[in-house]
Every structure is written in C-alpha cells, then in structure tokens.
Amino acid sequence: MIAVIDYGVGNLFSLCRSLEAVGQTPVVTGDPAVLRRADKLFLPGVGAFADAAEKLRRTGLDRVIREEAAQGKPILGICLGMQLLFEESREFGTWQGLGLLPGKVVPMEGIVPQAYKIPHIGWNGLHFPAGRRHPLLAGVEEGDCVYFVHSFYAAECDDVVIATAEYGAQLTAAVARGNVMGCQFHPEKSGTVGLTILKTFCEGEW
C-alpha cells in the first residue's frame, strides 16, 4: 500500500492522480495506524515550514514518520515535504525539522543573482553529481526538466544530494540517504519525467 501523509498542508489531488497514472492506488491519510501498515510513504507539502512542522508535531505524525523511517520504510518528501526531512529551516526564524537528513533549509536570497526572480517558479533541468547516480533517478536523463516552486533550498547537505538545478547557482533538487528520499521539485507536475520518478519510487526496492 502506498500512503500519502495528510497533515492539512497542501493540495494532494494532483499527486494522487499522478500515482494513479503509474498504476498505484494511493491512500491519503493522517491515521498513524494506516501509515504504519503502508509499504511506502509520501510526504508532500506547500506553504511555510514552521506551520507544516507544527502540524506534524501537533498530530504526532512527526514521531510516526521518524519511527517508520528508522524501521527502513521508504519515504519520499516532495517540495516542502523534502525540506521537512532536514534538521532545521531558517525560513523566517529557526525551526526544527524531522532530522532524517543532515543539513538545513535556507533562503535563496543572497545565493542567486538579483536578476533571478524569487520564488523560483518554472522548469529547470536536473544535473547529477559526478559519480553519483541514484536509483530513484535511473529513468531520468541529464538535463531533463522538472517543475519547481520554491524560495528556500536545502544547504550543507552535499553528502545526500543526488541532483541539482541551475538557477543562477547550483540549488539542491533531489536528495537521498538510504530509504529517505526527497524532491524539491514537483514530480506530479513534471510530466513524463515526474511520472517516471514516481513510478520508480513506488516499484523500487529501497
């Protein structure tokens, strides 16, 4: 069973439709018992880091996610969901994340040139670190484009970066360590390339 974690943050419709398009029947739930029974978890999210982190804590889902990750269950964070996997965020303050990946989430402002608009919205190509081609992106070619919407990005996390995107600077686009994975972009809005990534995660052995 594929479960999409529902904690009141974001529109889950497009993710579920994309999962159905690759042959899955996703269950959208905030029920810890159902999440524990699932084979794989998606952690989506849009909006502010602090609000999302607080909702996870208030519902107890932060504990569930950490425990399931520790048991080896595959988890894929998407956009804000990916950012929540890190130790902390510097989004209008300092906020604790789930701590499943090393690093922190920081503003793009001051990193990308002033000529580049923030938030970063649109299609950008994926680039792979030399000698580091992760199985999650096995069906993706160098330069394949995916869709981004973000103003903050994961930094100080070189050991877990599996793809970057060029937006006046090299920004973290995808990360992975063991069974914990994340995409800063929206695979559910990224056409065939995004569907390939979702299918790979759902069908892969992690």
Question: Looking at the annotation, which residues are catalytic?
Answer: 79, 186, 188
CA distance 8 to 151: 21
* Axis-axis angle for helices 61-70, 49-59 (nearest 10): 80
Instruction: Tell me the Cα Rg of the chain.
Output: 16
Q: Report yes or no: 10 and 43 within 8 Å, Cβ to Cβ.
A: no
8 A C-beta contact, residue 122 and residue 128: no
Q: Write the single-letter amino acid at 110.
A: G
Alpha-carbon span 102 to 87, nearest angstrom: 6
CB contact burial 55-78 (16+ within 10 A = b; e otherwise)? bbeebebbebbeebbeeebbbbbb
Q: Over 145-200, what HEC string results?
A: EEEEEECEEEECCHHHEEEEEECCCEEEEEEEECCEEEECCCHHHCHHHHHHHHHH
Distance of CA 140 to the CA centre of its chain: 16
